[in-house]
Amino acid sequence: MAGFGEIEGAVAGDRGFAHFGDPIREQRRLIAGTAIAPLDDRMIVEVTGPERLSWLDSITSQSVARLAPGESTELLVLDPQGRVEHAAGVLDDGTTAWLIADAADAEPLGAWLSRMVFRTQVTVAVRSDLTLLGFVDGGTAAATATAAAFAPNGTALVWADPWQQVRAGGHQYAEIADHPGAGLAWRVAILEAAPAEALAVALAHDEVAGLLAAEALRVAAWRPRWAAEVDERSLPHESDWIRSAVHLSKGCYRGQETVAKVHNLGHPPRRLAALHLDGSDDVLPESGAPVFAGDDEVGHITSAVRHHEEGPIALAILSRRTPIGDLVVRADGVDIAAAQQVIVPADAGATADIPRLTRLSRRPTAPDPRDG
């Protein structure tokens, strides 16, 4: 990202700036609202046209037809079997819907949306020219990033992560009153290249943070993302994504039948868990590292980070039948003890207080050309 590479201590990683000298201190600054993180690992898909919101509503998991200017949400694109194919944050400014996607998913998402346009008055474009900056609301970083944000139609483009609370039409499977996501007011500002470069030049070393810091806050909040928690088998129920990205009572969309079935009957085949890792060997497992219960391999790590307060922690996708209790993660030939905290229970969706969901509505949706 132009300009940020000139900041003292900048260390580039595979997807962007990993850190600026001290990832742990950068976490504390992010939480305090005094640091901004350049997010080179995300991109924008721009959707314009008078029918953009009703069209997105008809083909994705979220209810966005009445999304107000400046309002934020997120959506999933599911395959016919209800598995997650794409994910994006959504911000509408009254004229354009701005979708924030993980960088590796932006082009595929844009291509899929373009194939679904048909006769709809919608135009889709991937905007690689725009810059994304992440920050936590409530401090000096918010004022700085918002002032520089792109506002092509009069509304500053700052997306508010909906993970802080259960969205209307959503449901939380995690059986916890004090959800760790509730305390993370994560925001993403969208900037044009020139203002972003000028901001990078103006920021001091202690006003920036890297992707390692941003990821640590995300994992501690149990927040799933496409680049980490999604594979070819992923259902939204498994990572508690119905909490913020699925509307359970909207009209028909591709994959809705599976969403309804798993929600009504319970027992998704896998479940997301939080792991507190033993740091004695100073080994942090990579994504894909196997997780064991005794001698049985029961899942794999999706994200692992070093948190400034909790130490080494991880998210893992486990088999539904994985016993509740301590597990072992195998990384670089080392067995790492892992204390398990259940996020999605094995019987998620089957409890009595979860509203029943109609499996299919009669409202037609646009066909997918891949479905033949």
CA dist., res. 108 & res. 105, Å (int)? 5
Query: What does DSSP assign to residue 236?
Result: G
* Cβ pair 350, 266 in contact under 8 A: yes
Query: What does DSSP assign to residue 330?
Result: E
pLDDT value at position 15? 83
Give the tens place of pLDDT for each residue, 75-132.
Answer: 999 999 999 999 999 999 999 999 999 999 999 999 999 999 999 999 999 999 999 9
- How many C-beta atoms lie closer than 10 Å to residue 60's C-beta? 28
Give the tens place of pLDDT for each residue, 324-338.
Answer: 999 999 999 999 999
User: pLDDT 10s per residue in the chain (372 long)?
Assistant: 558 988 988 999 888 999 999 999 999 999 999 999 999 999 999 999 999 999 999 999 999 999 999 999 999 999 999 999 999 999 999 999 999 999 999 999 999 999 999 999 999 999 999 999 999 999 999 999 999 999 999 999 999 999 999 999 999 999 999 999 999 999 999 999 999 999 999 999 999 999 999 999 999 999 999 999 999 999 999 999 999 999 999 989 999 999 999 999 999 999 999 999 999 989 999 999 999 999 999 999 999 999 999 999 999 999 999 999 999 999 999 999 999 999 999 999 865 354 444 444 333 444 444 343
pTM, rounded to two decimals: 0.92
- How many C-beta atoms lie closer than 10 Å to residue 76's C-beta? 26
Give the tens place of pLDDT for each residue, 157-178.
Answer: 999 999 999 999 999 999 999 9
Beta partners for residue 186, in sequence order: 136
Q: Which of 191, 226, 17, 223 lies closest to 104, judged by CA?
A: 226
Burial 151-165 (b: 16+ CB within 10 A, else e): eeeebbbbbbbbbbe
* Mean pLDDT, the chain, whole residue set: 93
> What are the CA-CA distances from residue 53 to residues 152, 156, 295 (Å)?
18, 19, 50
pLDDT value at position 349? 82
Query: What does DSSP assign to residue 289?
Result: -
CA dist., res. 302 & res. 290, Å (int)? 10
**First-residue to last-residue Cα distance in the chain:** 41
Beta partners for residue 342, in sequence order: 273
* Cβ pair 22, 171 in contact under 8 A: no
pLDDT value at position 2? 57
